[in-house]
Amino acid sequence: MSTSFQVNVYPNPASDYLVIKSAENEMLDLRLSNMMGKAMQVKARQTIQGALIDVSKLPKGNYYLEIMSGSGKEVRQVMIGR
């Protein structure tokens, strides 16, 4: 499902934090999952002009970041590296 909001996720690959920024001032739910679908981090009801997800303790590898709002859902693949 595509969304009508513009979201930037960086850096990718990340080592300490993922930064999620949007031009919209919209409440979003964020879910970072490993490739098996297990939730590693969940942040509910974030005002997303700027949010951080701490990934410093996660094993390196590929993850999915789900960004959900009232207008839809977007999934981004992110890499955690050291």
- Got the DSSP string for 3-49? -SS-EEEE-SSBSSEEEEEESS--EEEEEEEETTS-EEEEEEEEETT
Which of 40, 75, 36 minimizes the C-alpha distance to 56? 40
Residue 17 makes CB contacts below 8 A (sequence gap 6+) with 52, 53, 54, 55, 56
Domains present along the chain, CATH in parentheses? 7-80 (2.60.40.3080)
Q: Pairing relation of β-strands 39-47 and 51-54?
A: unpaired
pLDDT tens per residue, range 37-82:
999 988 877 665 678 899 999 999 999 999 888 778 899 999 999 7
Say what the pTM is. 0.85
